């Protein structure tokens, strides 16, 4: 009987804390088993995740007690996970573990820690992270059998940093989950009211962690410049709790908009969908993104988007958003006023965003990864033959 190849996918980012990478991994494993019934999949599971990752008959799961982003993953994963019988390993979060006895695919979301380390976490912890993640990224770019870049922008950055990696890189464009969808006005506001998030009127929404590359300082400055005297417009910022919160509160107060800026911590999926639906515009002025999930999520909910004119944002928006230089708060402010001041423009942007995201399905993302797997498995088989 012919042996069935087995692919190991590291799913440990799926856990109690929401993240963009977890969303990507979920999109992958929700569709791969059905797309490839001729393959088997070993899913490495976060010890804090309870329940099954997949009910597909061609999957099995293994709990790994060590964290995804830890020294064990970086240097001795084969000693803490049983990888016997695995023909291909998929590292899903930028870093390539050392000592893997089989070929590997590495999903690279971005390479900011190599190209713009100041945009990532700063201070002593940032220096440690830069060395750690930079080591794993460099290994992946130089040695992985295949690189899955989540956008063409990321693929371009990889090729520019290490030209020989281009031949091993495939674009596997991220998708947007079906739960991000238009809601009725009443349903969205009822969800927000039930959680105490009900607004007093129109609001600008910003979503993402408080990291320098997200440019939340610029978002606040642009909001203050766009609506200095319009007390009826709020700015809601949904971001993970972090030490930067007090800095941003102080900045909002200094800009004279402190009473109109609300900071929410991490919210559940239903609340996030409701916020996208209720917002007048999503403001996402990042300096760089591997993909930029909030842009796609907002458009899928029918929310107009103002975002940056560089990195992956124009690619993800696909002509459905208004773009501005993230370093130019005046340009961002003008874009915000355009959307808020023109209901007809906002309506056209909603329609364009919905049309754009209908073509961004996780099934297609999984299929693109599967094509890369098959290519590498075929090469490995030919070399052994």
Query: Reduced to 3 states, what is the DSSP secondary structure of residue 257?
Result: coil
Residue 52 has pLDDT above 70, yes or no: yes
**Mean pLDDT, residues 306-314 taken together:** 97
Pairing relationship of beta strands 281-284 and 203-207 according to DSSP bridges? parallel
SS3 317: helix
Domains of the chain: 6-175+361-384 (3.40.50.2000), 185-357 (3.40.50.2000)
pLDDT of residue 128: 81
175-215 per-position pLDDT tens digit: 999 999 999 999 999 999 998 887 668 999 999 988 899 99
Q: Quick check: 280 and 204 in contact, CB under 8 A?
A: yes
Q: How confident is the model over 364-379, as pLDDT tens digits?
A: 999 999 999 999 999 8
**In Å, how far are 99, 209, 271, 331 from 241, measured between CA atoms?**
36, 8, 17, 28
Q: Is the pLDDT of residue 266 over 90?
A: no
What is the distance between the alpha carbons of residues 117 and 110, in angstroms, rounded to a whole number? 12
Q: What are phi and psi of 30, to 5 degrees?
A: -70, -20
pLDDT, residue 6, reads 98
CA distance 149 to 26: 16
Segment 142-147 shows an average pLDDT of 97
Residue 385 confidence class, pLDDT cut points 50, 70, 90: very low
Alpha helices in 227-361 (DSSP H): 244-254, 269-278, 293-300, 313-317, 329-341, 343-357
pLDDT in tens, 287-296: 999 999 999 9
Q: What percent of the chain has pLDDT over 70?
A: 97
3-state class of 323 per DSSP? Answer: strand
Is 90 exceeded by the pLDDT of residue 18?
no
Global pTM?
Answer: 0.91
How far is 216 from 220, CA to CA, in rounded Å? 6
Give the pLDDT score at 241. 59
Q: What is the pLDDT of residue 1?
A: 60
* Tens-digit pLDDT profile for residues 88-131: 999 999 999 999 999 999 999 999 989 988 887 767 777 888 88
Identify the residue whose tokens are 């506001």.
189
Query: Residue range 26-47: average pLDDT?
Result: 97
At 217, the pLDDT band (50, 70, 90 cuts) reads: very high
Closest by CA to 103, choosing from 90, 120, 93, is: 90
Q: How many residues does the chain have?
A: 385
CA atoms of 107 and 158, how far apart (whole Å): 12
The pLDDT value given to residue 130: 80
Q: What gap in Å lies between CA 83 and CA 98, rounded to an integer? A: 13
pLDDT at 381 over 50: yes
| pLDDT confidence band for 19 (50 / 70 / 90) | confident
pLDDT number for residue 383: 52
Q: Give per-residue pLDDT as tens, 231-245.
A: 899 999 998 656 667
To the nearest whole number, what is the mean pLDDT of the chain?
Answer: 93
pLDDT greater at residue 63 or residue 120:
63
Asked if 262 and 235 touch (Cβ cutoff 8 Å), the reply is yes
Query: How far is residue 188's CA from residue 182's CA, in Å, rounded to a whole number?
Result: 9
The one-character DSSP state at 6 is E
Residue 380 clears pLDDT 50, i.e. is over it = yes
The residue with tokens 């009987």 is 1
What stretch of H or E contains 43?
strand 40-46
Which H or E element spans position 62? strand 59-64
Whether the CB-CB separation of 308 and 324 falls below 8 Å is answered with yes
CA distance 25 to 34: 15
pLDDT digits (tens, 9 = 90+) for 332-370: 999 999 999 999 999 999 999 999 999 999 999 999 999
CA distance 109 to 155: 9
Q: Which of 373, 362, 374 is nearest to 176 (CA)?
A: 362
User: What span, in angstroms and rounded, lies between the C-alpha atoms of 12 and 47?
Assistant: 8
Residue 2 above 90 pLDDT?
no
């Amino acid at each position: 009987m012919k042996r069935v190849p087995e692919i190991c996918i590291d799913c440990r980012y799926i856990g109690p804390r929401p993240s963009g990478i977890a969303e990507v991994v979920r999109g992958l494993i929700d569709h791969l088993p059905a797309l490839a019934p001729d393959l088997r999949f070993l899913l490495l599971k976060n010890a804090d995740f309870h329940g099954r990752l997949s009910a597909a008959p061609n999957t099995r799961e293994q709990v790994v007690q060590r964290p995804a982003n830890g020294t064990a993953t970086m240097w001795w994963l084969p000693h803490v996970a049983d990888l016997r019988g695995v023909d291909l390993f998929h590292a899903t979060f930028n870093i390539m573990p050392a000592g893997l006895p089989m070929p590997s695919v590495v999903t690279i979301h971005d390479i900011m820690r190599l190209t713009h380390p100041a945009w990532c976490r700063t201070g002593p912890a940032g220096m440690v992270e830069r060395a750690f993640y930079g080591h794993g990224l460099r290994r992946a770019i130089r040695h992985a059998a295949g690189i899955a870049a989540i956008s063409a922008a990321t693929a371009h950055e990889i090729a520019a940093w290490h030209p020989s990696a281009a031949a091993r890189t495939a674009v596997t464009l991220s998708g947007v989950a079906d739960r991000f969808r238009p809601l009725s006005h009443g349903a969205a506001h009822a969800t927000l009211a039930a959680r105490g998030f009900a607004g007093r009127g129109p609001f600008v929404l910003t979503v993402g962690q408080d990291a320098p590359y997200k440019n939340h300082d610029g978002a606040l400055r642009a909001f203050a410049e766009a609506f200095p005297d319009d007390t009826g417009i709020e700015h809601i910022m949904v971001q993970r709790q972090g030490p930067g919160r007090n800095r941003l509160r102080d900045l909002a107060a200094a800009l004279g908009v402190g009473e109109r800026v609300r900071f929410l911590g991490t919210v559940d999926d239903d609340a996030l969908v409701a916020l996208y639906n209720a917002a007048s515009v999503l403001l996402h002025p990042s300096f760089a993104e591997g993909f930029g999930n909030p842009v796609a999520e907002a458009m899928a909910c029918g929310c107009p988007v103002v975002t940056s004119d560089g990195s992956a944002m124009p690619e993800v928006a696909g002509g459905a958003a208004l773009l501005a230089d993230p370093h130019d708060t005046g340009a961002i402010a003008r874009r915000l006023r355009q959307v808020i001041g023109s209901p007809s423009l906002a309506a056209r942007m909603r329609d364009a965003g919905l049309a754009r995201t209908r073509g961004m399905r996780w099934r297609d993302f999984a299929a693109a990864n599967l094509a890369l797997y098959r290519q590498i498995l075929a090469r490995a088989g030919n070399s052994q033959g």
